[in-house]
A and B are shown apart, each in its own frame.
Chain A
Amino acid sequence: MAEIRYFQAVTQAIQEEMARDERVFLFGEDVGLVGGTFRCTEGLMAEFGSRRVRDTPIAEAAIVGLAIGSAMVGMRPIAELMTMNFAIVAMDQIINHASKMRYMFGGNVNLPLVIRAPAGGGTQKAAQHSHCIESWFVNAPGIRVVIPSTPYDVKGLLKTAIRSEDPVLFIEHEAIYNRKGEVPEEEYLLPFGVADIKRPGRDVTIVAWSRMVFEALKAAEQLAEEGIECEVIDPRTLDPLDMDTILTSVLRTRRAVIVEEGWRNVGMGAELAARIQEHLFYDLEAPVQRVAAADVPTPYARNLEKLALPDADDVIEAVLKITL
């Protein structure tokens, strides 16, 4: 096992898949010559050339359109959106096109494409550069939503995404690109729809993904000192969603806290809370808790941003609310 950073795991996954399958190619803003704003594509243009690693104009809708069209003629494109914020610019191509085409064309088309984009706030990037909007895409059927938290997960899931026959929105996180983690030397893939228990525990189930996994783990560590054992589950893919692992855990702990960096209102946490109570209403000892961003555009000022975004303290507060 080697210890590498999250962004390096992204590079490795792309490198391996491009070497394995000549149909795989990569494009986006600054992915080639400079190796990506977050260094995720360093060295790839040198290795694979400027046809297969292509710098594009700043035109996010068309970048996604390129992915759709090239997938239609037998390529396996990886489109990088420099950040998730720009997915909003490309919303028509993602939702009206990529996620709808297979169904509305009666199964006549496969779209094996990956749209990679880093999301997230926490570093004072203010309202237009801090989005965690994965729930928007989970809401629309027809596109898979993958959102890994660790180097191990990001590598194994990105390789699976590239080999998937369906459109995949692959959401990374700007603030965890430098986190290190162990990744096997040998090749591996991770399946979609299988959650990972990041920390076992008997008292409370915490469901968290992306950067929030680390806030949840931090909270779990502190709570353990007070004798409260939290089980931290990372679904890793939000569509498909491994409800079995979540429900099995909650059935045991009888308490659940959902942690997300996105807004609380109509967020993924609301969906998970609804599903948990649909299945386990009579088994719950307490109402399902949601920890999420304040429903405001993300503010710039450091103190206000900290207030707006959820962190370990908020998770601890939510856990204590249902365990004391």
Chain B
Amino acid sequence: MAIPAADKMSLFRMMHLMRRFEQGAAEAYAEGHIGGFMHLYIGQEAAAAGSISALNHDDIVIATYRDHAHALARGSSPRALMAELYGRATGLCKGKGGSMHFYDPQNYFVGGYAIVGGQLPVAAGMALGIQMRNEDRVVMAFFGDGASNQGVFHEALNMAKLWDLPIVFVCENNFYGIATDVRISSAYNEIHRKAQGYGIPGKVVNGMDVLAVRQACEEAVRYARQGSGPILLEARCYRYQGHSMTDPGKYRSQAEADLWKKRDPIPRLAKHLIDEGLADQGRLDEIEAEVNRTVLDAMQFAESSPEPAPSALYADVFVETYPGELYTNG
């Protein structure tokens, strides 16, 4: 199916929002507003934007610790996300989770998980629940190339196919597991073919081309939704920054980075929009300016928001609490 022009414009806006959000977060991190581990998505925007745009609102997205872009793509408020990064009470998770643990039930974004591969059996469980409740929904589960060497990746794929669960696995293959090149960590690098070993269809898609990702995911989502079982897409992409804010990424050559930056998904889509006569440069500039204002507003909102009250320390460990405990609920 042809991708509607309005959707292409939305993808342009979304990818730009993802990038500006990450740039804003990086600035705030450098200024000391944000602590801990923070993993930027810059360069990989087409993967999350394209795939998530193929979903219905109540389909479920689960992601890794590199989760800012996925929450944005699901429609989470940039203010709430930025405030979470700043560790403020107004954050998406009340400042309890930080960069790696966004969670937005209203938008069916169910987390950022910081143990490589750990979200995959959880994804299988959600898909099992959906299947048992006969709901017309799918789970889209993101993971990185590194996760494909974890045991739970294989456990989850086996169960997903065994019961034909409605899951679209999306591998964001950026070719590095933290600092280690996949070529020295993986015996076999065709991750989509690992799926085939479980009887699951696996395909490669150019993760730097948002329209290609969108197209592939539409097909994959249709496949999973119609009850055919799980499917896996391997989106090959590249992160421009290091693994996290503390990683300068010196293990990669400048030539390699330059090569990938030539394939940058945002100018690529901009050129397509102009070539197809869907927008002129002025319109694209307007979108960029609007997005820039949104991110600045989010940063101002975060900075002016209060820290969590000390009383929040013992809140939300459990739903049900008992006499003599310090825990409170909410």
Say whether A and B bind each other. Answer: yes
Residues of A within 8 A of B (CB): 25, 51-52, 56-57, 59, 61-62, 64-75, 77, 92-93, 96-97, 101-110, 141-142, 144, 164-166, 192-193, 240, 242-244
User: What is the distance, in angstroms, from B113's C-beta to the closest C-beta of chain A?
Assistant: 7
Q: Which residues of A contact B151 (CB under 8 A)?
A: 61
B121-A104 in contact (CB<8A): no
Residues of B within 8 A of A (CB): 60, 91-97, 101, 103-105, 110-111, 113, 115, 118, 120-130, 132-133, 135, 151-152, 155-156, 158-159, 162, 315-320, 322-325, 329-330
Which residue of the partner chain A has the closest CB to B106?
A108
Which residue of the partner chain A has the closest CB to B159?
A62
B158-A65 in contact (CB<8A): no
Give which listed residue, B91, B115, B122, B315, contacts A69 with CB less than 8 A: B122
Q: How many A-B residue pairs have CB under 8 A?
A: 154
Give which listed residue, A93, A96, A97, A166, contacts B318 with CB less than 8 A: A166
A62-B152 in contact (CB<8A): yes
Give which listed residue, A25, A75, A96, A193, contacts B322 with CB less than 8 A: A193
A96-B115 in contact (CB<8A): yes
A61-B103 in contact (CB<8A): no
Q: Which residues of A contact B132 (CB under 8 A)?
A: 25, 51-52, 70, 75
A165-B320 in contact (CB<8A): yes
Besides A73-B129, A192-B320, 18 other A-B contacts (C-beta < 8 A): A25-B132, A57-B158, A57-B162, A61-B155, A64-B121, A65-B152, A69-B124, A93-B121, A97-B115, A103-B317, A105-B111, A108-B92, A109-B111, A110-B319, A165-B319, A240-B322, A242-B324, A244-B323
A104-B152 in contact (CB<8A): no
User: A51, A73, A102, A107: which has the most chain B beta carbons within 10 Å?
Assistant: A73
A74-B317 in contact (CB<8A): no
B110-A109 in contact (CB<8A): yes
Knowing A72-B126, A107-B330 are in contact, say whether A66-B159 is a contact too (CB < 8 A). Answer: yes
Which residue of the partner chain B has the closest CB to A165?
B319
A105-B101 in contact (CB<8A): yes
Knowing A59-B159, A243-B324, A244-B324 are in contact, say whether A65-B125 is a contact too (CB < 8 A). Answer: yes
